[in-house]
Amino acid sequence: MYIGRIVSVARTLDDRLCAAYRVSSRSFPNRTAVAGEGKVSIVPKPGHEMDVYKNPYIAYNCVRIVRNGDVAVVTNGSQTDGIAEKIDQGMPPRDALALVSLALDFEKDSYNTPRISAVVDKKSSTGWLAIVRHDGLEVERIPLYPGRLWYVATYEENTITEARGDEFPAETPEEACDFMLGGGVFAQRDNPVTAVAAMAGYEGYEIFVKDAPAV
C-alpha cells in the first residue's frame, strides 16, 4: 500500500524519545537526506537537481533541533523551519504546530498533499503529531510508551489515531531508519526513498540518515 510520506514519534525500550521521517515517492524517487549542524535537508540526488523546477515541494529541511538540544522537529515540508523557530522562541509545541500548519496549509500540488509534522521534547518528555489536510487540521499530544511508535502519513493513513502504531524495537537512530524503511508495519508500505531519525542522546539528539536499498 502506498501512503506517501510518514512522520513518527516513539520511545525506545530504554526510555529515549525518537522522531523519524520517511520519504516515500512514486513521482520523485531520486532524492536523499543530507545531515547538517542541527538539521537535515531533503534534496535531489546529483543529476536530478532540475526536479525542483517540476515540483517546488520536493526539497526542504525535514529536521531541526532547537531549544538548546531539547526539541526535535520533523516534517515533510517547509513548515519545519517555522515550527522550529516558534518553539525556539518559547511557543509551546501544540501552538507552534497549529499556527504554522494553518498558516501554510496543505501543499497546493495536484494531490493536495497534507503537511505532516512531529515534535519530541526531552525536557517535558512529550511527543506531538500534526497534520493539515484540505478538509481539516489535527494536532495531538501522543502518549509515548517504551517500545511503541505512533505515525501519520500523507495519504490513506492520514488521521492521528492509536491504530497508526506499532512496536518500536530500535535502539539506535540507524535502527530507527531501518525500521522506517522496511520494519514492522512499514514493510507493507510501498516506495521507500530515504529515512531520517533523531533520537535523544545524553546531549541533544543523535541524527542518522539512510537511503532505501536500490531495487
Choose among 125, 123, 129, 34: nearest CA to 75: 129
Q: Where are the domains of the chain?
A: 6-211
Give the pLDDT of residue 186: 98
- Which grid coordinates are listed for 91? 511557543
The grid coordinates of residue 203 equal 546531549
**144-192 residue pLDDT tens:** 999 999 999 999 999 999 889 999 999 999 999 999 999 999 999 999 9
Q: How far apart are CA 76 and CA 70, in angstroms?
A: 21
**What does the pLDDT read at residue 215?**
67
Domain 6-211: give its CATH superfamily: Inosine monophosphate cyclohydrolase-like (3.60.20.20)
Contact 148, 11 (CB under 8 A): yes
Better pLDDT: 6 or 109: 6
Global model pTM greater than 0.75: yes
Which pLDDT value is given to residue 110?
A: 86
| Average pLDDT along the chain | 96
C-beta of residue 163 within 8 angstroms of C-beta of residue 136: no
Which helix (DSSP H) or strand (DSSP E) does residue 167 occupy?
strand 165-167
Please report, rounded to a whole number, the percentage of residues in the chain having pLDDT higher than 70: 100
Within the chain, where are the H helices? 51-54, 79-88, 93-104, 173-182
pLDDT tens, 101-155?
A: 999 999 998 899 999 999 999 999 999 999 999 999 999 999 999 999 999 999 9
Task: Evaluate if residue 76 carries a pLDDT over 80.
Answer: yes
When pLDDT is cut at 50, 70 and 90, the band that residue 214 belongs to is: confident
Helices marked H in 37-172: 51-54, 79-88, 93-104
> How many other CB atoms are there within 10 angstroms of residue 93's CB atom?
25
Q: What is the pLDDT of residues 13-47, one digit of tens each?
A: 999 999 999 999 999 999 999 999 999 999 999 99
